[in-house]
Amino acid sequence: MSTAFTGREGRWQAGLGKLRDVVRQELVTRQLAAELPPPPVRIMDCGCGQGTQALRLARRGYEVTGVDASAELLARFERDLAAEPAEVRARVRVRRDLLENLAERPFAPRFAAVLCHGVLMLMPDPESPPDLQALLACEERAGRTDPYRQVAALLHVIARRL
């Protein structure tokens, strides 16, 4: 299976456990705790990588399906999953696939939430951004707003179905 970010897994893994990663993972965990419906519900983690958030959610009682294109990162996820108690392992499914294929290969279960964090920065730049001016306006506004202006390298967006 080819992936748009082949070779970037090494750089990604080199940053795991370092301060930036620890802070990012903790902030995502806190945001999810505030936004997700209470367990037990099904959650899909698209681009789950090494499974940090998927495992945290499963420990809290969520049924989690983690999807990632990287066999190397999923192997790390499955190794960490194997060390979890049986009740946590029973709530986790791991699937290797490209995110672009998910619309073509639908899942049987419905999900209460679909997560996709820490993925866009790994994707190749599009040949021609569809709305560059809107993207620049958002980035410019966020860049003038604290605390993003001072510390953030990523913008977290939460979309809700109305």
Tokens for 64?
């989690």
CATH topology of domain 9-128: Rossmann fold (3.40.50)
pTM over 0.75: no
Strands (E), 4-145: 42-46, 63-68, 92-96, 113-115
pLDDT digits (tens, 9 = 90+) for 13-25: 666 667 777 887 8
pLDDT digits (tens, 9 = 90+) for 113-141: 888 877 665 656 666 676 777 777 777 77
Q: How many CB atoms lie within 10 A of CB 74?
A: 21
Averaged pLDDT, 23-38: 87
Whole-Å CA distances, 70 to 56, 58, 107, 116 = 20, 21, 19, 15
Sheet holding 63-68, edge to edge: 92-96, 63-68, 42-46, 113-115
